């Protein structure tokens, strides 16, 4: 295994190069890393870091084996691969004086404000089912995109 040392260096160099692109893009919002999309979108949309404060993300990531009534457990190495992205880009204290109830995006004030036009009966439609099912209305929620041009409320 005498090639393993330079091999590690090569991996590190790759990681540094990747980190460089992220930090130069940090002025804008860095897009969700593929590992996050792979691990956190099996059961629902790709929620974005700014949608909750860091304290909420921290609690959520600490409780994945009992995550809103389901087992969403992940091994530590996989978790470490996207945890910094979620925490570093979380919503700030100004936007979240207190964490939303149950650390839910759907209980955050900004969420209620953005969706104030939607009636309670609309959320209950079979094609929607749950407020957390962002993808029912936001066509690219799987990719973490929620722009207003791509919204369509199903009948």
Partner 1 sequence: MNASIRSASPSRLALLLASLALAAAGARAESPVQIRDGYATLAGATPQAARGQQFFTSRHGADWSCSSCHGAVPTATGKHAVTGKPIQPLAPAFNAERFRTPAKVEKWFRRNCNDVLGRECTAAEKADVLAWLLTLKP
CA-CA distances (angstroms) from residue 69 to 18, 25, 131? 36, 36, 16
Of residues 95-134, those binding ligand HEC (CB under 6 A): 104-106, 114-115, 118, 122, 128, 130-134
Which stretch in 25-33, 51-59, 67-75, 114-122 sits in contact with partner 1 by CB under 8 A?
67-75
Q: State both tokens at 70.
A: 């389901």
By the rule CB under 8 A, 148 interacts with partner 1: no
Nearer to ligand HEC, 54 or 136 (CB): 136
Position among 4, 77, 147, 155 found at the interface with ligand HEC (CB under 6 A): 147
Among positions 23, 28, 62, 71, the unique one binding partner 1 when judged by CB under 8 A: 71
Whether 115 contacts 106, CB under 8 Å: no
Q: How far apart are CA 2 and CA 15, in angstroms?
A: 22
Query: Is residue 105 within the footprint of partner 1 (CB under 8 A)?
Result: no
Helices and strands in the chain: count of H runs, count of E runs: 6, 0
In the complex, the smallest distance separating the C-beta of residue 7 from ligand HEC, rounded to whole angstroms, is: 29
Q: How far is CA 14 from CA 11, 20, 80, 109, in A?
A: 5, 10, 17, 40
Angle (nearest 5°) at CA 53 between 51 and 55: 140
Q: Which of 54, 90, 99, 136 binds ligand HEC (CB under 6 A)?
A: 136
Q: Which residues bind ligand HEC (CB under 6 A)?
A: 39-40, 42-45, 47, 51-52, 60, 64, 67-68, 70, 72, 104-106, 114-115, 118, 122, 128, 130-134, 136-138, 146-148, 151, 153
């Amino acid at each position: 295994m005498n090639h393993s040392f330079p091999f590690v260096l090569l991996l590190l160099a790759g990681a540094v190069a990747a980190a460089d692109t992220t930090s130069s893009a940090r002025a804008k919002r860095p897009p969700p890393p593929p590992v996050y999309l792979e691990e956190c979108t099996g059961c629902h949309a790709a929620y974005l870091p700014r949608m909750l404060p860091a304290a909420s993300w921290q609690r959520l990531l600490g409780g994945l084996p009992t995550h809103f009534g389901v087992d969403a457990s992940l091994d530590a190495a996989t978790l470490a691969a996207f945890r910094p992205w979620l925490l570093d880009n979380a919503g700030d204290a100004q936007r979240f004086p207190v964490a939303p109830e149950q650390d839910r995006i759907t209980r955050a004030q900004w969420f209620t404000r953005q969706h104030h036009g939607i009636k309670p009966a609309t959320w209950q439609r079979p094609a929607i089912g749950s407020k957390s099912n962002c993808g029912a209305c936001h066509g690219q929620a799987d990719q973490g995109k929620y722009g207003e041009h791509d919204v369509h409320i199903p009948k």
